[in-house]
Structure 1
Amino acid sequence: MSSVMAFSFCTLVLWLYSVVFVQAELSQDFSKCSNFFYRGTPPQGFVGAGRQPICQRFRNQYHFASLYHRENRTPLFSAYTLKPANGKRPNATWMYEPQLSFSRADPEMKPLPYPTTDNNVIESQAVQQDYKHSNYTKGHLNPSMHQETKSNRMATFSLTNIVPQRAGSNSGPWSQLELEVLRRFKRACVGPMYVLTGALPHKHTQHWINNRVLIPEYMWSAYCCPFYNRSTSDHTHFPTHAAVGRNDRHSDQEIVPIDVKAKRSKWGYDVRRMSLEALEEVLTQRLGAPIRLFQDQCREQQDIATSAMTTPHEL
């Protein structure tokens, strides 16, 4: 082979490689959507096989990020910046992530046919028929009404943002928590509020719907609002706060106690508010690895410097 031919062949190989690289949006990190994490840093400690970072893309725009567990066919968490909705909740057009089934597929989420017959899609992720007759609702980790535009809200209807959630939780105490966080944002948050919402599997025995989709025992959520109105806000809720909600009314009460006076339809789906540190401790114990949700506990560099200067005097 002549040197010219060899150079042309190598150039062609490099060009083909670059095309594949550009098309393949799924990667080992969140570098293309790091803006959904405080200081561009994803949570630390969510390690293990089968975990796929997804920059959730719809209509040529990234809307939020999810860490998806391929074997469980559910997200471990979704990360987003809260912006109050400027309209109503859209009609649900459920979507799927093509690249989970084929790495060179279009990098945008697509409408999910019902019933889904493509085996590559069925094997790679949850589909709508998984939830049929399951007695579980499709529970958003990133709720649509925490997203500003219609496109933002439509993007939350990807099944890669969904876990099996009991109706008593989804339309009860967990829904109230989402409204509560929204009110706090409007009342006191100045600038972005970074939110992480995830799910915890059962501690000892795994529970599934359709023998395919893992059912969480608990939902959890935490937010980081580094800049807030200090004159009007409740300082126990800023700059961070967190919560854990029951998704199994028969679970023990070690993490979240039960309100025995709750309505029958909501009984056993209580939500416990807590500090960020308390939630990280719960996650660390249940997941078996040190968990840190926000870089420097959502403290701005100025606060850290001030703390470093005052701590010696306090000692």
Structure 2
Amino acid sequence: MNPGRASGFLARLFCISLFALVPLAGAQAAFEACADYFPQGQPPALQLPGLQVRDICFDSFAVLHSGKTKTPVYAVEKLNRERLLAARDEQRTNRFYEEARLPRRERARLEDYKDSGYDRGHMAPAGDMPNPDAMAQSFSLANVVPQVQSHNRKTWNRIERDTRRYAMRAKGDVYVFTGPWFSGPPTLIGSGVWVPEYLWKLVYDPATGRAWVHWSRNSSGQPVLPPIGYDEFVRRTGLRLLPETAAVRP
């Protein structure tokens, strides 16, 4: 096996071992206080060996957090026109804070990002938040990942705006999952916060049965590429986030 193929194989093996996701048949899903943020009120029932996951409910979004990576596995929101109209009047606070509901050893710290060269990139965007409490909560470090500055402020900002634009036109609620993806041994900052190689955003509109995923490398100079399909996203990640009964058009 040549070195290039060997390194690619090792990266895939790393991902498989870390994100070996197995559906939990008949398991009681978490997020009991905020299941309404999920399609059909059904949080994904998944095993994530070694990721030290904890569910956190906020006023307008929820996060499945990994104490291993000290980042979200995903954040989830339920968007609609009413919520996004309210969000237009909210002022961004920019007051990031450490998530006290997480054990100290599992959470990112403010000093982790200091002089790291990375932005604190929201998974559930501040621009989606419909009231002051939700806006303040979006700055929890449990809701952010280390993101390349130009990617956060240009490429990803456009993807977030395009998602809001779609949700404003939709006939009903639109469900949005957003998260990082690590495809090999990670770059670390601070006390061990993992830097993702990719970011993804899954958009699901139950009224039309449409689902698509923005998949974007966390680096500078990235264009906004055409989204991939839900089945391709599941193939890449193993993350089956929508209910089996959800009608997803191919």
**Category of TM-score, reference length = shorter chain:** 0.7 to 0.9
Distance 1:165 1:271, change over 3 A: farther
Aligned residues: 216
Alpha-carbon shift at residue 40 of structure 1 (Å): 1.4
Alpha-carbon shift at residue 214 of structure 1 (Å): 0.5
Looking at structure 2, the residues matched to 166 and 28 of structure 1 have their Cα atoms a distance apart, in angstroms, of 33
Q: Counterparts of 1:68-107 in structure 2 under 5 Å? A: 68-82=65-79, 83-84=83-84, 85-101=87-103
Counterpart for residue 12 of structure 2: none
Q: Which of these residues, 61, 64, 68, is aligned with residue 67 of structure 1?
A: 64
Looking at structure 2, the residues matched to 177 and 99 of structure 1 have their Cα atoms a distance apart, in angstroms, of 30
Q: Counterparts of 1:49-198 in structure 2 under 5 Å? A: 49=50, 50-56=52-58, 62-82=59-79, 83-84=83-84, 85-101=87-103, 121=104, 123-187=105-169, 189-198=170-179
Contact 1:196–1:222 (CA under 8 A) maintained in structure 2: yes
Looking at structure 2, the residues matched to 146 and 243 of structure 1 have their Cα atoms a distance apart, in angstroms, of 17
Contact 2:155–2:222 (CA under 8 A) maintained in structure 1: no
Alpha-carbon shift at residue 63 of structure 1 (Å): 2.4
Contact 1:89–1:144 (CA under 8 A) maintained in structure 2: no
Structure 1: gaps of 5 or more residues: 1-26, 57-61, 102-120, 229-237, 249-265, 285-290, 304-315
Alpha-carbon shift at residue 282 of structure 1 (Å): 1.5
Q: Which of these residues, 238, 242, 253, is aligned with residue 213 of structure 2?
A: 242
Structure 2: gaps of 5 or more residues: 1-27
Alpha-carbon shift at residue 88 of structure 1 (Å): 3.9
Q: Which of these residues, 242, 264, 267, is aligned with residue 221 of structure 2?
A: 267
Instruction: Specify the structure having the higher radius of gyration (Cα).
Output: 1
Counterpart for residue 185 of structure 2: 205
Alpha-carbon shift at residue 204 of structure 1 (Å): 2.6
Q: Which has the higher strand share?
A: 2
Looking at structure 2, the residues matched to 86 and 162 of structure 1 have their Cα atoms a distance apart, in angstroms, of 21
Looking at structure 2, the residues matched to 293 and 89 of structure 1 have their Cα atoms a distance apart, in angstroms, of 31
Contact 2:98–2:140 (CA under 8 A) maintained in structure 1: yes
Contact 2:29–2:45 (CA under 8 A) maintained in structure 1: no
Q: Deviations over 1:102-150 (max 9, x none)?
A: xxxxxxxxxxxxxxxxxxx4x3311111101101000000001122222
SS in 1 for 2:178: strand
Looking at structure 2, the residues matched to 297 and 275 of structure 1 have their Cα atoms a distance apart, in angstroms, of 17
Runs of 4+ off more than 6 Å:
none
Contact 1:169–1:269 (CA under 8 A) maintained in structure 2: no
Alpha-carbon shift at residue 210 of structure 1 (Å): 1.8
Looking at structure 2, the residues matched to 94 and 227 of structure 1 have their Cα atoms a distance apart, in angstroms, of 35
**Percent of residue pairs bearing the same amino acid type:** 25
Looking at structure 2, the residues matched to 242 and 270 of structure 1 have their Cα atoms a distance apart, in angstroms, of 12
Counterpart for residue 41 of structure 1: 42
Looking at structure 2, the residues matched to 161 and 53 of structure 1 have their Cα atoms a distance apart, in angstroms, of 12
Looking at structure 1, the residues matched to 132 and 47 of structure 2 have their Cα atoms a distance apart, in angstroms, of 31
Q: Deviations over 1:229-266 (max 9, x none)?
A: xxxxxxxxx62221111114xxxxxxxxxxxxxxxxx4
Contact 1:218–1:247 (CA under 8 A) maintained in structure 2: yes
Alignment TM-score, normalising by the size of structure 2: 0.79
Contact 1:126–1:213 (CA under 8 A) maintained in structure 2: yes
Alpha-carbon shift at residue 183 of structure 1 (Å): 0.8
